[in-house]
Chains A and B, each alone.
Chain A
Amino acid sequence: MKPPPLWRRYARFFGPDPAADVKDELRFHIETKTDDLIAQGWRPDAARREAQRQFGDLRAVQRMGVQMGVRMERRRRLADYWSECLQDLRYTFRTLRRDLSFAAISILILALAIGANIAVFSVVNTLLLRPLPFPDSHQLVWIAPPPTGCGWSCSTYSADAYDEFRAQTRVYKDVTGYMAFTTADNLRLTGRGEPQPVTGIEVISNFFQVLGVQPIMGRPFTPEESYGIGGHPVTILTNAYWRRQFQADPAILGKAIDLNGTPVTVVGVLPDTFDFGAVFSPGAKTDLFVPLNLDQERTWGNIVTLIGRLKPGATVAQALDDNNRVAPDLYFSPRFPETKGRYKDRLIPVPLKDYVSGRLRRSLIALWSAVGAILLIAGVNLSNLLLSRASARAKEFAVRGALGASRGRIVRQLLMESLVLSGAGALLGLGLAMIVITWLAHQGSVALPLLSTLRIDGQAIGWTVLIAVFTAVLFGLVPGMRMASGNLQEVLKDSGPGAGLGRKHERVRSILVITEVALACVLLVSAGLLLRSFLKVLDVDLGFQPDRAASVKVDYDDNAPTGNASALKRGVIFQQIITRVSALPGVEAAGMADYLPLGPNREWDSPVPQGKTFSPGELPDPLVYVVTPGFIRAMGIRLRGRDFTWADGPTSERVVLINASAARVYWPGENAVDKILTDGDQKLHVIGVVDDVHEENVEASTGSQIYYPATQAGPAGAQLVIRTSLPPSSLAPGVLHALRELNPKQPSAEFRPIQTIVDRAVSPRRFFMLLVGAFAGLGLLLAALGIYGVISYSVTQKTQEIGVRMALGASAGRVRRDVLLRTLRLALIGIVLGTAASIGAARLIASLLFATSPWDAVTYLWMVAALVSVALLSGYLPARRASQIEPMAALRNN
């Protein structure tokens, strides 16, 4: 084989052509064959024909060849592309290694921004986007009227109403519910060493079937178990409790455990994917479930929540129609015909998902926007860093261009660099996010739903890849395009370090920094407004003094044949406990209540002020607390009038305390103390008026409340509240010891400072405030970095100019002032734009604010002050450097 002559090598001048190759190759074959045949003595035309005949189907072979050639060509091109990419990648690593500090800073910035984004995405995904962890969870609806002042009692239904509703509706596959008034540690596990407090939720027997939760062992409850038939008490354990308390005993089924002294058979263990607390009462732990005995609890009033599973294809609107059809016929209790229609318009279905996390939608969207802003700021910073690097590397690219690198190839190289940076940042960010997410998932004290189900999943990783690529492309492309479009000759000619491009770049960089400042501004204002709201919330007069008080759940046995006897017995026990505990050193006051503020609550029928008539519905139903003497003082609730005493017994005059709101409703403008309320034929003597206590949350205003003495009305349990001059936790052993002495069955319950109840109530707000605050801080830091980068770079660029000015007599102070003024100008433009944007953003978060105007001047002033001082700070270092330039050195340097 000889190499072809030079002129013949250009046959494929316009790129590879597989079809022509095949044709040429086959033609050569035929021609050579013909030559051979002629040499053997054939006539030329006969020889050609013979050659073609021998070949057979030339066209078919040719077609096949073209096909294969095209495929091969495509593959070759792809291989070339990848090998070029690999080359770019290797080159990228080499250049980044050479500039480690640049790489480290960019990766760190990106990691923080991307990490924050992943973490928030996971939270948003879990709480808002992902369906609830139940099969076909879109079919599940929560049935309750919109929240009103009267708490849980208004969003629950009687056992009779439940049965009737379930029987009459047509859109639901099935309806279930659970007992809404369960307090934490409501049961006692005995027979295994010290009595252990247990939280057991009473659920209607079809609860797990309706939700679609399959026990991992055993069975769900049977319908008989809801109606107390069959007689034998049973329970289903949560996975966590089974592991914790029973060491995951695989043979637990059929075993009996002692709950409140009764043997209860374990019939099932739930999967660990089911977390009742995470969905229905955020932050609360649940240990086990027992079937709700509907027959036994028929007389207890509104007790069950309603959860329905719609038939396939049924919509929430259809469910509402159906509910409205059924509701007017429902009785609160058929024994009282006048209660028919009480639930009219009060059976409103909402998707369960909306019930669980709908309230958080706005907060989450705000949070998501905040991290989006962080990503933008980080991206702009990256752009800035890349630009300054690009200027420094202008020569390198000019040389590459001159040597034949196409513009596309150079852009690809720059893109590869930003992809590598953002990829590394994303990887590191993913690590950071995992730490944050794991930490968040274990924040039991934050009352947010589904938080315990947080995890980094495939979607989160997909999101990571998406934002990493987005960041790289958007923020890597700008400098890339600018770089590649530079005038090669200009750069090559110019002996300075990219002096020609410097000016042009400076404009872009200034715009980028202004954007950064404006975004930081929006973040700061949002965070500031949320912080001020949070402080306002903390300042809310709760109606009681949470500090220096603690509570513990008390177990007691007041079983007696009649209500009065039971009240007497209870009175004696309670008085004993309180006397004993009050005698402990450091205890200032002690008292008990069945429900504590900011927790579960309930209402009873409303009493009426004596001698007045109200139309039905005019009097709000008050929330009811059954308390002992001393409770009001122990909680630090202000009281006008007198507290209950132990003398207020079952046979003495009926007495109550009402809160200020109730007093205003019952006797507007009058002193309510010593007035009389009537409840049926009972007269209730109002012996005092107490301040409004926030019953459900810190932020909403309170409604009517009424306190009954535990010696006259039946409490739903007993929480002992102790006010102390010592740290509450130091009292715990003494108090528990005293309780145990009086009642050996007293479980070793948790000693809870009242402050933690308040903290829990404000925890969602604190959570969002802290996150947005952290993002604002991050934004400020990144903006500072951006300002510093730009000013510092421009000082380096202008070294010569500054040198000349100083040689001509400009003082160091003058130079410094000029640089600082330039910094300030950038910052101020950013602040002006940012303020305008902030006003828009503040309107969007207005509904998240508490007692704070979205135009809160203080917040805006703080934001301006913070940004200006940060700008000055980050401008100061370059300014000082500028003022220290040696004129001669600067001039000689070029």
Chain B
Amino acid sequence: MAFEKAKIDKAKLELVRGTLDVLILKALIWGPLHGYAITSLIHRQSDEALLVEEGTLYPALWRLESKKLVEAEWGLSENNRKAKFYSLTREGRTHLRSETKTWEAYAAAVAKVLTATQPPLPDEA
């Protein structure tokens, strides 16, 4: 494990394209959060392996909002500041479910290929 850890620079782990949206949606499943809380949630939940950059987070959030997958509301943060809280909409929930399935299938398939120890059997035909 130590060997592997050294290989992966945590902070620079690039997010695979398209996964940011689904991570944001997942983060919101526990309740409404503001943008800052979303980054830190993802950061902590991934054992500090994933760091969502602000420069991509907010555009992604706004995109999701315009697609009506999340909705925003102004509220007060823990430190009594006015903050924009995002929460999942019903469509967002559905979207998250289907995206999760896709992602799992994808990850499993990639893993299968990458962890293979021998070439596939030749086709019967």
Residues of A within 8 A of B (CB): 1-5, 8, 11, 21, 24-26, 28-29, 31-33, 35, 54-57, 60-61, 64-65, 68-69, 71-72, 75
* Proximity bits, B57-68, A CB within 8 Å = 1, else 0: 011001101100
Could you tell me which residues of chain B, from 9 to 59, have a CB within 8 Å of some CB in chain A?
31-32, 34-36, 53-55, 58-59
Q: Given contacts A4-B75, A25-B35, A29-B35, is CB(A56)–CB(B55) below 8 Å?
A: yes
User: Judging by beta carbons under 8 Å apart, are A68 and B75 in contact?
Assistant: no
User: Judging by beta carbons under 8 Å apart, are B58 and A25 in contact?
Assistant: yes
Q: Which of A21, A28, A69 contacts B77 (CB 8 A)?
A: A28
Assembly CA distance A345 to B75 (angstroms): 92
Q: Given contacts A24-B84, A25-B84, A28-B81, is CB(A56)–CB(B76) below 8 Å?
A: no
Residue in B closest to A57 when the chains form the complex, CB atoms: B55
Assembly CA distance A57 to B82 (angstroms): 23
Which residues from B are CB-within-8-Å of A3? 75-76
Q: Given contacts A29-B35, A56-B54, A65-B59, is CB(A2)–CB(B83) below 8 Å?
A: no
Ranked nearest first, the 3 interchain pairs of A and B with the lowest CB-CB distance are A1-B75, A56-B55, A2-B76
Residue in B closest to A18 when the chains form the complex, CB atoms: B62
Assembly CA distance A75 to B34 (angstroms): 23
13 further A-B pairs in the complex, CB-CB below 8 A; given A24-B82, A61-B55:
A1-B75, A1-B77, A8-B82, A11-B82, A21-B84, A25-B34, A25-B58, A26-B58, A28-B83, A32-B79, A32-B83, A61-B58, A75-B66
User: Judging by beta carbons under 8 Å apart, are A28 and B84 in contact?
Assistant: yes
Q: How many residues of B contact A (CB 8 A)?
A: 25
Q: Which of A4, A68, A75 contacts B82 (CB 8 A)?
A: A4
- Distance between B65 CB and nearest chain A CB, rounded to angstroms: 7
User: Judging by beta carbons under 8 Å apart, are B62 and A69 in contact?
Assistant: yes
User: Judging by beta carbons under 8 Å apart, are A1 and B53 in contact?
Assistant: no
Q: What are 28 contact pairs spanning A and B, CB under 8 A?
A: A1-B73, A3-B76, A4-B75, A5-B76, A8-B82, A11-B82, A25-B34, A25-B84, A26-B58, A28-B36, A28-B82, A29-B34, A29-B35, A29-B54, A31-B81, A32-B36, A32-B77, A32-B79, A32-B81, A55-B54, A56-B53, A57-B55, A61-B58, A61-B59, A64-B59, A68-B62, A68-B66, A75-B66
Residue in A closest to B83 when the chains form the complex, CB atoms: A28
Which residues from B are CB-within-8-Å of A55? 54-55
Assembly CA distance A65 to B65 (angstroms): 11
Assembly CA distance A214 to B77 (angstroms): 79
Assembly CA distance A71 to B59 (angstroms): 13
Which residues from B are CB-within-8-Å of A8? 82
Q: Does B3 belong to the interface (CB within 8 Å)?
A: no
- Distance between A618 CB and nearest chain B CB, rounded to angstroms: 90
Residues of B within 8 A of A (CB): 31-32, 34-36, 53-55, 58-59, 62-63, 65-66, 73-77, 79, 81-85
Assembly CA distance A29 to B84 (angstroms): 10
Residue in A closest to B35 when the chains form the complex, CB atoms: A29
Which residues from A are CB-within-8-Å of B35? 25, 28-29
Residue in B closest to A25 when the chains form the complex, CB atoms: B84
Which residues from B are CB-within-8-Å of A57? 55
User: Judging by beta carbons under 8 Å apart, are A2 and B55 in contact?
Assistant: no
Which of B58, B66, B81 gathers most chain A CB within 10 Å?
B58
Assembly CA distance A28 to B77 (angstroms): 9
Assembly CA distance A69 to B85 (angstroms): 15
Assembly CA distance A72 to B61 (angstroms): 13
Assembly CA distance A25 to B37 (angstroms): 12
Which residues from A are CB-within-8-Å of B55? 55-57, 60-61
Residue in B closest to A69 when the chains form the complex, CB atoms: B62
Which residues from B are CB-within-8-Å of A69? 62
- Distance between B56 CB and nearest chain A CB, rounded to angstroms: 9
Q: Given contacts A28-B36, A55-B54, A56-B55, is CB(A2)–CB(B75) below 8 Å?
A: yes
Assembly CA distance A360 to B52 (angstroms): 78
Assembly CA distance A64 to B82 (angstroms): 21
Assembly CA distance A31 to B77 (angstroms): 12
Which residues from A are CB-within-8-Å of B58? 25-26, 29, 61, 65
Assembly CA distance A11 to B74 (angstroms): 10
Which of A29, A65, A72 gathers most chain B CB within 10 Å?
A29
Residue in B closest to A2 when the chains form the complex, CB atoms: B76
Residue in A closest to B81 when the chains form the complex, CB atoms: A28
Assembly CA distance A64 to B66 (angstroms): 13
- Distance between B60 CB and nearest chain A CB, rounded to angstroms: 11
Assembly CA distance A31 to B83 (angstroms): 11
User: Judging by beta carbons under 8 Å apart, are B62 and A28 in contact?
Assistant: no
Assembly CA distance A60 to B32 (angstroms): 26
User: Judging by beta carbons under 8 Å apart, are A68 and B83 in contact?
Assistant: no
Which residues from B are CB-within-8-Å of A61? 54-55, 58-59
Q: Which of A4, A35, A64, A75 contacts B74 (CB 8 A)?
A: A4
Which residues from A are CB-within-8-Å of B62? 64-65, 68-69, 72
Assembly CA distance A29 to B77 (angstroms): 11
Residue in B closest to A8 when the chains form the complex, CB atoms: B82
Which residues from A are CB-within-8-Å of B54? 29, 54-56, 61
Q: Which of A5, A33, A72 contacts B66 (CB 8 A)?
A: A72
Assembly CA distance A35 to B65 (angstroms): 27
Which residues from B are CB-within-8-Å of A60? 55
Residue in B closest to A64 when the chains form the complex, CB atoms: B59
User: Judging by beta carbons under 8 Å apart, are B77 and A4 in contact?
Assistant: no
Which residues from A are CB-within-8-Å of B74? 4, 11
Residue in B closest to A3 when the chains form the complex, CB atoms: B75
Residue in B closest to A76 when the chains form the complex, CB atoms: B66
Which residues from B are CB-within-8-Å of A24? 82, 84
Which residues from B are CB-within-8-Å of A54? 54
Which residues from B are CB-within-8-Å of A68? 59, 62-63, 66
Assembly CA distance A3 to B82 (angstroms): 10
Which residues from B are CB-within-8-Å of A33? 36
Which residues from A are CB-within-8-Å of B85? 1
- Distance between A294 CB and nearest chain B CB, rounded to angstroms: 76
Assembly CA distance A11 to B76 (angstroms): 13
Assembly CA distance A32 to B82 (angstroms): 11
Which residues from B are CB-within-8-Å of A2? 75-76
User: Judging by beta carbons under 8 Å apart, are B75 and A25 in contact?
Assistant: no
- Distance between A417 CB and nearest chain B CB, rounded to angstroms: 32
Assembly CA distance A57 to B53 (angstroms): 11
User: Judging by beta carbons under 8 Å apart, are A28 and B34 in contact?
Assistant: yes
Assembly CA distance A4 to B80 (angstroms): 9
Which residues from B are CB-within-8-Å of A11? 74, 82
Assembly CA distance A8 to B77 (angstroms): 13
- Distance between B25 CB and nearest chain A CB, rounded to angstroms: 18
